[in-house]
Structure 1
Amino acid sequence: MSLLGSFVVVMAALFIGEWVSTKTRAMVPSIFVTALIFIIGFWTIFPKNIVEQATFGLNFASVCVPLLLVHLGTTMNIRELIEQWKAVAIALLGVCGTILLCLTIGALLFDWHTVLSAVPSLVGGLVAALLMSENLKAINLDSLAALPIYMLMFHGILGYPLTTILLKKEGNRLKKEFHQNPQAMTGAKEVAERTKVITKIPTNYRTSAFALARTGFVAVLAVLFGTVTNNVINANVVCLIFGIVFCQLGFLEKDILKSAGVFNWLIYGLTAYIFAQLSTTTPSSLLGFIPEILVLMVLSIFGMFLISRLVYKWFGYSKEMAMATALTALFGFPADYILTNDVIKEVAENEKEEAYLTAHMMPKMLVGGFATVSIASIIVASVFIKLF
């Protein structure tokens, strides 16, 4: 397949996902549909390197992740980030619920090593899955090495639609609050006002290249900070924090990459890169792990459900928002952003409602995903490796 043909096929998979999500009023998430297209495609006619041929390979992902995280920081502020300690607590407690059920009930149903191999992927992302897979190969457990990758690829089958349902309920609740509570209206206005940028640069000099250069500069500073501090704070979290800080200082505009016209392009490319990991699966190898995948996914989600139902009142969350925050462990960034954004666009009827829903839902989902996928899951994988 030609490079241009690969690009067309990848973009077609992405827009079909968007169309289905729109048609079903976000009940079927776009990312779920696109994932199915990719896996069926890889099993049939897609070249294994189709995403790389479409120019959305590792180098592209390595550049766009820091840029996107800095951008997302410009949609928040320092006070909001500090306030999200509750989201971190709920997300981490959800991880504990998953570990508890999988290491007890799961260990009664399946081999102990099988459960240990699967859990890090259930509460995390690509890094945790690859870390566990490579270590399984190193200790000659090649038969289990594929399981972490399979769990990573398929735990969203339950997580995506369930999260969408929960977020839609929360979005509709917030929309009613927005119209019924005068303080909620004031809060939405404050969100809009405090994200304005004061700049003396003439408008005709604020080009897309200038916006990208500034965003990239902040991303470089964030990565350097992580290196100097020995990644005491995960680099992804630093990028988000630096985006917030530099937006407050006026160096970056609110929604900077959207105003530059490149945000969707970066999201599409990163999404395609993530789905490229599906190229390693085969129908025969997958079928052998179906019971483990299904049972452990159910146990994982049920563990998160139990914990979130126990603690949501303590943190002042609705039960829907608490569960959705816990479920970020199943996918992390950018899926948490895409799912939340899909729902907000579906529920909100105007820009003010969209701003209010974004301010109250997006930070919780993003920070919850960082806490689990970027930090907790890697710690869990590192610990579980030593238990073999």
Structure 2
Amino acid sequence: MSQLLALVIVVGILFVGDVVATRTKAWVPSMFICATLFLFGYWTFFPTNIVEIAGIPPAVATMLMYFLITNMGTLLSLQELKRQWKTVLIALSGILGIIAILFTIGALLFDFETVVVAIPPLVGGVVSALIMSEAAANAGLISLSVFAIVIYVMQGFAGYPLTSVVLKKEGKNLLEKYRNGQLALKEAEGESAAASESSELKLFRKLPEKYNTDFFKFFRLAVVAYLAFLASELLSPLVSVSPFVLCLLFGVIATTVGFLERQPLQKANGFGFAIMGLMLFIFDGLNQATPSMMMEILYPLVACIVLGVIGMYLFSFIMGKILKVSKEMAFAVSLTALYGFPADYIITNEVIKSLTDDEKEKAVLTSHMLPPMLVGGFVTVTIVSVILAGIFVGFL
């Protein structure tokens, strides 16, 4: 198969996944469609290295991971996290619930390695799934390497409908309070704060804008990622810390001191390509998934997702009681771990539109429901899942 034909096929699959997700308003996730098509291809006519043939070998995928995780760090607004401290605690409690249930009940049902591989993808996104998949493959656990990818692909089917149900209940309660005069529009603190925060490069204040080229943005991202890698190497004799975890931390620090602007990868017009390359590498992990292997991991897949959701509900319910947050909102926030952005944004807006046609009521619901959902998704998928993956890799 030629490189260009392979490229057309694999990118075409990503496009089909996007189309289906858009048409179904994200009820059928693009990840599921893409994974299904890749599996069909691998079981029929795809060469097992079709992604590498298309131009994304492992070395390129690793480079893109360093760029993307460092870029994630630039998105972290410490001020918004402070304002949404209740949301942060609820999101963390949901993750703690997953860990507690899977390490107790899950450990009785499956072996230790299965539980370890399941948790980071279950509470996170593409990066944590890829970290655990590679770690399992390096440890010779091929079926668990596939399991890490599949659990990431499938978890949305539990998260999407459950979130919609609890958000609708929360929205109806809020509307009733608003119509009774017990609730008012909440100022969009996060948006105003984000707008007021300067994205100025403090360390390059005197640099003419014409020299802040796309390549300069890539260069600074690479420097920060390299410093994170060096720190990981220096710490390795004392403690094993994944360089990807440090990339996240160094991204935050570099943005705070003014070495990086916010979202440099997007501003350098490289975000879309980086995501495409990383997604293709994720699906490349399915090339060893035989039909018999898929049947073998079906039981732990379903059980881990069900147990994880139960753990989320129990712990977020308790934390919600303590912080006086409704159980519906608390559960919805914890469920963002199963999908993150942009699904948290899409589902919340779809629910709001379904509850009322009045623009003022929509604004009230948006001001009370959207900020916690966005912060919850950011905390779980962007921050904690990468840290957990970096820690759990050492258990394999």
SS of the aligned residue for 1:47 comes to: coil
Query: What residue is the counterpart of 1:148 in the other structure?
Result: 144
Report if the CA contact (8 A) 1:76-1:359 is conserved.
Answer: no
Query: What residue is the counterpart of 1:140 in the other structure?
Result: none
How far the C-alpha of 1:365 sits from its partner, in A, is: 2.8
* Structure 1 letter corresponding to 2:231: F
SS of the aligned residue for 1:278 comes to: coil
Report if the CA contact (8 A) 2:255-2:262 is conserved.
Answer: yes
Matched, 1:188 2:187: no
Report if the CA contact (8 A) 2:74-2:251 is conserved.
Answer: yes
Question: Within 1, Cα distance between the matches of 2:44 and 2:258?
Answer: 50
Q: Which runs of 5+ in 2 are unaligned?
A: 121-128, 354-362
The range that moved more, 17-26 or 122-131, is 122-131
Question: Within 2, Cα distance between the matches of 1:250 and 1:357?
Answer: 32
Query: What residue is the counterpart of 1:269 in the other structure?
Result: 277
Percent of aligned pairs with the same amino acid:
27
Alignment of 1:148-187 (within 5 A): 148-165=144-161, 183-187=186-190
Matched, 1:278 2:286: yes
SS of the aligned residue for 1:279 comes to: coil
Query: What residue is the counterpart of 2:227 in the other structure?
Result: 221
Question: Within 1, Cα distance between the matches of 2:292 and 2:275?
Answer: 32
Q: How many residues align?
A: 360
1:6-53 alpha-carbon deviations (Å, 9 max, x no partner): 111111111111111111112222222212221121111221101111
Residues 325/272 of structure 1: CA separation in 2 closer, same or farther (3 Å cut): farther
Residues 266/354 of structure 1: CA separation in 2 closer, same or farther (3 Å cut): farther
How far the C-alpha of 1:313 sits from its partner, in A, is: 3.6
How far the C-alpha of 1:371 sits from its partner, in A, is: 6.5
Query: What residue is the counterpart of 1:57 in the other structure?
Result: 57
* Structure 1 letter corresponding to 2:228: A
The range that moved more, 275-284 or 240-249, is 240-249
Query: What residue is the counterpart of 1:365 in the other structure?
Result: 377
TM-score by length of 2: 0.75
Residues 302/183 of structure 1: CA separation in 2 closer, same or farther (3 Å cut): closer
Query: What residue is the counterpart of 2:107 in the other structure?
Result: 103
* Structure 1 letter corresponding to 2:14: L
Residues 233/380 of structure 1: CA separation in 2 closer, same or farther (3 Å cut): closer
* Structure 2 letter corresponding to 1:217: V
Report if the CA contact (8 A) 1:73-1:241 is conserved.
Answer: yes
* Structure 2 letter corresponding to 1:245: I
Report if the CA contact (8 A) 1:219-1:239 is conserved.
Answer: yes
1:118-152 alpha-carbon deviations (Å, 9 max, x no partner): 222221334445555665x6xxxxxxx44423432
Query: What residue is the counterpart of 2:215 in the other structure?
Result: 209
How far the C-alpha of 1:96 sits from its partner, in A, is: 1.1
Report if the CA contact (8 A) 2:70-2:221 is conserved.
Answer: yes
SS of the aligned residue for 1:184 comes to: coil
- The alignment yields a C-alpha RMSD, in angstroms, of 3.8
Query: What residue is the counterpart of 1:111 in the other structure?
Result: none
Report if the CA contact (8 A) 1:101-1:303 is conserved.
Answer: no
Query: What residue is the counterpart of 1:314 in the other structure?
Result: 322
Report if the CA contact (8 A) 1:74-1:254 is conserved.
Answer: yes
Query: What residue is the counterpart of 1:67 in the other structure?
Result: 67
Report if the CA contact (8 A) 1:192-1:355 is conserved.
Answer: no
Question: Within 2, Cα distance between the matches of 1:36 and 1:375?
Answer: 29
